[in-house]
Structure 1
Amino acid sequence: MPATASPGQPRVCVPCRLAAIGAVVAALAGGFAYAAGWLTPQRLTAQTVIDQFQHNAGQHPGFRRNHAKGVCIAGYFDSNGAAASLSKAAVFAPGRTPVIGRLAIPGGNPTAPDGSVPIRSMALQFTQADGQQWRTGMNSTPMFAVRTPEQFYRQLKAAQPDPATGKPDPARMKAFLAANPAAQALQAWLKQHPPSSSYANGSYHSINAFYLVDTKGQRHAVRWTMRPEQPYAPLSDVDKGVPSRLADELSQRLASGPLRWHLLLTLAAPGDPTDDATQAWPAGRRQVDAGTLVVERAHAQDDGACRDINFDPTILPAGIAPSADPLLAARSAAYALSHQRRTREVALGAR
């Protein structure tokens, strides 16, 4: 995760930005969580959440605390200019912007079989010619299971393995789902949408809402999706048993040429929620195809360019702004602490 943020970037809070570039120490975790606006009376902090990830997955020094297993990608974004009227960000002007990214699966175990989870993720860093960056982390689901950091922490607690079995207690997870109907909605969606057979043929969604800001200062609420040119196919039962099927298959596809996704910007209508990631916007909202992501190369994450990037979704160029979704501040704080821990572990000889 890069250790610098571009000058002039809008930030949620200075401590979060400093944490994201590795300039603070773990003792400030509570401080930046408070500044980010998600420290609760129950003392829920970035440290509490990241510690819970470690309880669930075990200790894996040098790796991300979530989405630990992945592969680096590199290429460029070819903007067609269609979104230039909606945002003054240079990334939307006609032309190419270099991109470094990462494809991964959720979870804190870097050796987990690819078939162990039904979700894939895509994280990207666009670097504009003026040095400003746009970082985004997307999932293969169009909504999230919970609305608030507190609910997310309770979900992690419910999924904590029972020491006697090494697996989550079904009763605890059932109780969590009963208390959180939105999480049930996501489970229902996953049953209707089997995981893709490849990183290359899956769609990836921002889930959280943001604002595009045009040259007149007008704000346009938006979510985005990376839609692949490769046709979707579900993961087969046979491939579920291949531990690293996704990375291997990606390399095979890239040997035949670049892979492409279209960046679709979905604009909110009046009344569409911008602070609740559990609610997908209705079909039929205006969409703008802003251009094409072209992935040319993939590299192992151990030494790839994505290894040290903090894909904090609140690192944004002028022309893109965060919404009031409480998960965004929480993600920024948690990603920063995860980055601080793993880069320190690497410096001490891990991996």
Structure 2
Amino acid sequence: MTMKQSSPLSRLLRFALVGGIPILLAILFLWAGGWLSPQRLTAGKLVDTLQSGPGEKPGFRRNHAKGLCVIGEFDANGNASVLSKAALFAPGKTPVTGRFAIAGGNPDAPDFAVPIRSMALAFTSPSGQQWRTGMNAMPFFPLPTPEAFYEQLVASKPDPATGKPDPQKMQAFVAKYPAVKVFGAWAQKYVPSGSWAVDRYNSLNAFNFIDKNGQSHLVRWSMVPQQAWQPISESDHQNKDFLQQDLVKRLAQGPLKWDLIVTVAQAGDASNDASKLWPADRQTINAGTLMLNSTVPQEGGPCNNINYDPLILPDGIAASDDPLLNARSAAYAKSYNRRTQEEAHQAPGEHL
């Protein structure tokens, strides 16, 4: 009788049943990490591809490497309490440790060369619960899935011979993911601002707010600036650190403020696709005011060793089914582990 050959995974699972639960858990961990399925997209593969552009920059984030720490507080007005039982939405103030950054893995990149900026915040309630959120100054994400984002990174990788992406690879990518054309159309019309302080930062991903009755409400949120918008100037193009210098100057004159605006979805609005905008007529709630009071360099600053994982959520906020959330969380963790290990091996006083 001919025996049907079993797969490596099934043989390992049978062995785990004999060897006990710890081995089974190890196998599941290895599978989740992609070791038993090399073709699968993993956090390590995604981070490797991100850092392949600028090259290794020990001690820095693999994306949004150039940034600045900020300190402040969130003053909730209680309006969002009808949607979420999270303590930070009850009237009162919550300390915030944040970070402004520009996209990309090069900590020495000129501010004017990278039009997409980010705001990351960690809210810490008196009970110790945290809400961490990373937002971007663009209205939607270019692509719907981690796999599509990874393929974009690969397709846009510069050809060593020309120093530019291969046009045929990019054309094939756009043909496979035509949704990216929508983002391209927005990017062509986008005018970068002259300050981190005047940008609107959006969650992009959807989340669920859970109210005191256990009801779930699908939402997105934005930090909307109270400071008047201004475009990037000609002089800004001559200063590689104009964003950081501008923020330091502004905060020396007084606090900077944003309104936390929560947008509530209606039936049919996408919960799992950050590349799709919700209609502009959706209900919005002003949940309170973010006030930033001071800034600190990220090297040695309080934000430097915070992993702004979007899935670190307090009771009252839960993840949606957006696949980008798990991918972001895993990639952030991988990047955090790498850079903190690199920092541990740097000589005292060595620049991060």
TM-score past 0.5 threshold: yes
CA apart distance, 1:284: 0.9
1:326 lines up with 2:329 in the alignment: no
Which has the higher relative contact order, 1 or 2, with Cα contacts under 8 A spaced 6 or more apart? 1
Equivalent residue for 2:40?
Answer: 43
* C-alpha contact 1:204 1:226 (8 A) present in aligned 2: yes
SS in 2 for 1:181: coil
Partner residue in 1 for 2:341: 344
Q: Which residue of 1 aligns with 2:195?
A: 198
Matches of residues 18-97 of structure 1 in structure 2 within 5 Å? 35=32, 42-97=39-94
* C-alpha contact (below 8 Å) 1:36/1:329 kept by paired residues: no
Equivalent-residue separation in structure 2 for 1:33 and 1:61 (angstroms) = 26
Instruction: Name the amino acid aligned to 1:78.
Output: D
Query: Aligned pair 1:128/2:117, yes or no?
Result: no
Aligned to 2:287: 290
Q: Distance in 1 between matches of 2:334 and 2:201?
A: 25
Per-residue CA deviation, residues 141-187 of structure 1 (Å, 9 max, x unaligned), is 11101111110101111221222343433443343233322211112
Match of 2:299 in 1: 302
Q: Secondary structure at the match of 1:57?
A: coil
Structure 2 residue aligned with 1:274: 271
Alpha-carbon separation, structure 2, partners of 1:266 and 1:41: 39
Q: Which of residues 181, 197, 200 in structure 1 aligns to 2:178?
A: 181
- Kindly indicate whether residue 309 of structure 2 is the aligned counterpart of residue 312 of structure 1: yes
Q: Which has the larger radius of gyration?
A: 2
Secondary structure of the corresponding residue to residue 197 of structure 1 = coil
CA distance in 1, matches of 2:284, 2:210: 16
Q: Which residue of 1 aligns with 2:15?
A: none
State the Cα distance separating 1:47 from its structure 2 match: 0.6
Structure 2 runs not aligned, ≥5 long: 1-24
Shift, 1:118, TM fit: 1.7
- Distance across 2 between alignment mates of 1:122 and 1:266: 18
SS in 2 for 1:316: coil
Aligned residue number for residue 23 of structure 1: none
Which residue, 106, 109, 113 being the options, matches 1:112?
A: 109
- AA aligned to 1:191 is Q
In structure 1, distance between residues paired with 2:155 and 2:73: 40
**8 A contact 1:220–1:268 mirrored in 2:** yes
Q: What residue ranges of structure 1 are gaps of 5+ in the alignment? A: 1-27
Contact 1:56 1:159 in 2 (8 A): no
Q: Distance in 1 between matches of 2:30 and 2:181?
A: 28
Q: Secondary structure at the match of 2:53?
A: helix
AA aligned to 1:268 is A
Give the aligned residue type for 2:322. Answer: D
1:246-270 per-position Cα deviation (integer Å, ceiling 9, x unaligned) = 0111101111000000000000011
Cα 1:269/1:308, change in 2 over 3 Å: same
Indicate whether 1:144 and 2:161 are aligned.
no
Q: Percent identical across equivalent pairs?
A: 55
One-letter identity of the residue aligned with 2:46: V
Number of matched pairs:
323
Q: Which amino acid aligns with 2:289?
A: T
Task: Provide TM-score, normalisation by structure 1.
Answer: 0.88
> In structure 2, what is the equivalent of residue 240 of structure 1?
237
Answer whether contact 1:36 1:333 (CA < 8 A) is retained: no
Q: Deviations over 1:41-61 (max 9, x none)?
A: 822100100000121110100
What is the rounded CA distance, in whole Å, between the counterparts of 1:184 and 1:77 in structure 2? 37
Q: Does structure 2 conserve the Cα–Cα contact (< 8 Å) formed by 1:71 and 1:299?
A: yes
Structure-2 separation of matches of 1:338 and 1:249? 28
